[in-house]
Amino acid sequence: MLRAAIACPDAELAKRLHALLVEISGVVIVKSVGDYPLGEDLGRLMRMHVPEVIFVSVERLESASELVNTATSLLDGVQFIAVGRHADPSALLQLMRLGVREFLSHPFEERPLIEALVRVKDILDRKPVKADSTDRVYGFLPAKPGCGTTTIAVNAAVAASRIADSPSLLIDSDRVSGMVRFLLQLDNEYSLHDALERALHLDENLWPQLVAKFGPLDVIHSGTLRTGEEPDEGSTKHLLDFARRNYGNIFIDFPGIFDKRELEALHECKKIFLVVTPEVPSLHLGKERITFLGKQGMKDRVEVLLNRHPKRPVLQLESVSEILGMPVHMAFGNYYQEVTRALTSGRPVEPNSELGGEYTRFARSVLDKRVAQMQPQKKKTGNLLSLLPGSLSMLTAAKKPAN
């Protein structure tokens, strides 16, 4: 699908061009403006819509030239097709010097338009448009339900939104039992389903309606239970592509069901934080998930988070690492009362509390802020692995996890 934008002050000219483009399959008009957007308006258009080709009127040549120059600097590879009522040789020469190679004169006809689009598409196939977008997409995946993954994802995203240099977004992708809406007491009626349904048409007017605000953090919650067909699978990537262009940090809370949509989103993540707790079922399923992600080619992105780690653990961090076959990136203490107070009040964990401090340190580590990473405890209390039930001991039989 070729993404096209129109910048044309001549209303009749723009209407005729728009009507012809709508009839051509393989072209989608992402934006049409009745002027020459410049400055922040042009920047927003390029960032929000990422047009691959811009139809620009030569009615006001100076403004058209400025648009071409600025748009090229904002979006590498974007192509242009000049349009106008008359083919002024001097105007065409000036535009050619700026890299514009196509011109269509009114009245527009379908055949020359299609031929121009084919030539543009050929250029784009060889050199696609490259939009600035973040790679800071972080997924939070539970070893099993009840590990506290959502609590970590929410509090990490809230902490990151306070300390990050760029805007942050939290997405609750659990469409069956998502808890983000409840945890943050959000009342926005739109949800992830609505965002996916409109993924091809997201813009600066629609997006603010889809996201809920929690302080500086933007949130897309999973909404309430609903029946009916889900949006097309491909809309997941369109949604994340849009979010990448408009946020510096994206946090996704996954349910851990590994359906097609979830796997597609997991592949977009820079890091996948697998949340485990120091109990037999959690560690067993955590190891299985690490093995599964390895088979999907994502093991190098997995980091283990140990939740509800007691002050006097039976199982030390290094023993957990040995069982899972990979180190624990960070452990969060078992602060039941702090979490309960937060849940009851519909707020994140108090940032000045002990657990809140751990979430802040974790957020700083995720954002590559300077912070000392928690190290495994050195003290040992004998061979703890020998104390584990036989079913769990078998997890440690293989020194290296399956890839």
Res. 376: pLDDT tops 50: no
Query: Residue 403's pLDDT is what?
Result: 40
Taking alpha carbons only, the member of 10, 6, 26, 34 closest to residue 18 is 6
Strands 217-220 and 212-214: antiparallel
Q: Any residues with CB less than 8 A from the CB of 196 and at least 6 apart, and which?
A: 230, 231, 235, 236, 239
Q: Which CATH architecture has domain 2-126?
A: 3-Layer(aba) Sandwich (3.40)
pLDDT digits (tens, 9 = 90+) for 216-228: 999 999 988 766 5
Query: Residue 250's pLDDT is what?
Result: 97
Res. 386: pLDDT tops 70: no
**What is the domain partition of the chain in residue ranges?**
2-126, 137-396
Scan for tokens 């070893």, then name that residue: 143
How far apart are alpha carbons 265 and 281 in whole angstroms? 26
The overall average pLDDT reported for the chain is: 86
pLDDT digits (tens, 9 = 90+) for 304-358: 999 998 887 777 888 899 999 999 999 999 988 888 888 888 789 998 999 999 9
> Residue 401, SS3?
coil
Query: Residue 286's pLDDT is what?
Result: 95
Fold of the 137-396 domain: Rossmann fold (3.40.50)
How far apart are alpha carbons 47 and 242 in whole angstroms? 8
Tokens encoding 248:
């510096």
For 87-105, what is the mean pLDDT? 87
pLDDT band at 238 (very low <50, low <70, confident <90, very high): confident
For 150-155, what is the mean pLDDT? 95
pLDDT digits (tens, 9 = 90+) for 260-289: 889 999 999 999 999 999 998 999 999 999
Res. 373: pLDDT tops 80: no
* Neighbouring C-beta atoms of residue 8, cutoff 10 Å: 25
How far apart are alpha carbons 159 and 170 in whole angstroms? 12
pLDDT band at 230 (very low <50, low <70, confident <90, very high): low
Contact predicate 252/266, CB 8 Å: no
